[in-house]
Structure 1
Amino acid sequence: MKRRRCLQGTAGLLLAATGLAARAASYEDWFRYIELDLGREIQKMLQAGFDVNTVDPKGQSGLYVALREGSATVVPVLLAWPGTALDAQNAMGETPLMMAALKGRMDVMASLIARGARINKDGWTPLHYAATGPNPDAVELLLAHGAVLDAVAPNGNTPLMMAAGYGAIDSARLLLRRGADARPRNKGGRDAADLAKAADRLGLAQELGDAAAAR
């Protein structure tokens, strides 16, 4: 009897160890398949019961990573899967909509917004990220859905500042036309015109300075 119990206990430990190893392998496969853009493999894992909202050590969801990596076949699989957490935030407070906005992915942005993804949030917002990216249409889309025009990030930057220093010049001009305030200064003491000057966008810097003076 004791021998049987011992064997049963050993078998249980082996099964548990095997299960843990399988889960670890699945975890590694999940993010590897995302980075390699293997949409079919991701679909198979989901159909086998893998949790679509599994995050990596940085708290980044599969959808966020797929958008960051430009995984074209994986993104639609994750977007379509029931239960995908659209507003999952990583350790930096970034959401899939923010990454889609930064990449200028209008199709993904439209899908996320239609399904209720948050447009406004504390700290950095999707509009900050859209303004930093290359596509003014991403800025336009968020504004059309009620994005806060002069949202303030933790470092004091507004979307206009981000566009002026890092994004598309047309995005900065779009924000100005929509009434963005060019006067605020960030925690480093710089305004939008200063950031444009630092990026050697002297014409834009003049426009921003004129807009600030006209307020």
Structure 2
Amino acid sequence: MPEKILINSFQKIIYLIAFSGFLLFHLPSAAQQGSYERFFTAILRDDVRTLERLAEAGFDLNAPSPDLEPPLFLAVKSESLRAARFLIERPEVNVDARGSADENALMIAALKGQLDLVEALIARRAQVNKPGWTPLHYAATHKGPNAPAITRLLLEHHAFIDAESPNKTTPLMMAAHYGHPMVVRILLEEGADPMARNEQGLTAIDFAHRAGRTDMAELIASFVRQRQPRGTW
């Protein structure tokens, strides 16, 4: 009996040693935890100097936030533009990492009309096309003055002009409802299908009418009429 107790005690000691080793290996040190907090605080504060110091110290610039958002995505979303540029320029940063809603940094930059970030991300070979919602959908949603240039840039880099969202909504539909009038014109001139329908059976004209944008609806309808063959007598 005493021998059995001794064996059990020995096994417990071995287990505790092994478990302690596991914790030491897998849990971040206090210094690492401090670096982690400083990293995301620096992103939100657009503090490039701190980001540079952490990078020099070997901090992982792809470490996800507590909400599992990629750092670059978070910088663009927070409009920390200097921090975003710093991260884009670092070759080890994954520019295609997606957030919890399956959005990448290029999509958010397009949505916010950040033309310089879109250019920098494309220069880093960021993913222009992806299944589901795409950067072109997001560019088409933006109303600001940079929306046409971003739209053209994405199309020049082979963005699928009639890309379908999960419910088959196209960039033209988004532009008709939310976007810049010039973006609607660009998409039409570059070959977007004005008669495509989403899962609810709605066309881009329907999207425009639902938003009360009769000018957009008429622009699309006029384009459709121009494409129709004219009879001869």
Q: Which of the five TM-score ranges fits, normalised by the shorter chain?
A: 0.7 to 0.9
Shift of 1:102: 1.2
Please say if residues 58 and 90 of structure 1, whose CA atoms lie closer than 8 Å, have aligned partners that are also in contact. Answer: no
- State the match for 1:109 in structure 2: 118
**What letter matches 1:203 in structure 2?**
D
Matched residue count: 205
Please say if residues 59 and 89 of structure 1, whose CA atoms lie closer than 8 Å, have aligned partners that are also in contact. Answer: no
Shift of 1:18: 9.1
Shift of 1:82: 2.5
* Counterpart secondary structure, 2:29: helix
Q: 1:206 aligns with which of 218, 222, 225?
A: 218
- State the match for 2:80 in structure 1: 71
- State the match for 1:85 in structure 2: 94
- State the match for 2:161 in structure 1: 149
| C-alpha distance 165-49 of structure 1, shift in aligned 2 (>3 A) | same
- State the match for 2:68 in structure 1: 59
Greater CA drift, 204-213 or 46-55: 204-213
TM-score relative to the length of structure 1: 0.86
| C-alpha distance 27-181 of structure 1, shift in aligned 2 (>3 A) | same
- State the match for 2:175 in structure 1: 163
Q: Does 1:36 pair with 2:45?
A: yes
CA distance in 2, matches of 1:42, 1:132: 32
Shift of 1:212: 4.2
Please say if residues 181 and 212 of structure 1, whose CA atoms lie closer than 8 Å, have aligned partners that are also in contact. Answer: no
TM-score relative to the length of structure 2: 0.80
Q: 2:189 aligns with which of 177, 182, 202?
A: 177
Please say if residues 33 and 39 of structure 1, whose CA atoms lie closer than 8 Å, have aligned partners that are also in contact. Answer: yes
Q: 1:190 aligns with which of 180, 191, 202?
A: 202
CA distance in 2, matches of 1:33, 1:166: 33
Deviations 1:7-66 (A, max 9, x none): xx7xx88x9499433333332322222111111111111111111111124432111111
Structure 1 runs of 4+ off > 6 angstroms? none
* Counterpart secondary structure, 1:171: helix
Shift of 1:91: 2.4
Please say if residues 111 and 141 of structure 2, whose CA atoms lie closer than 8 Å, have aligned partners that are also in contact. Answer: yes
Please say if residues 88 and 124 of structure 2, whose CA atoms lie closer than 8 Å, have aligned partners that are also in contact. Answer: no
CA RMSD of aligned residues (A): 2.3
- State the match for 1:94 in structure 2: 103
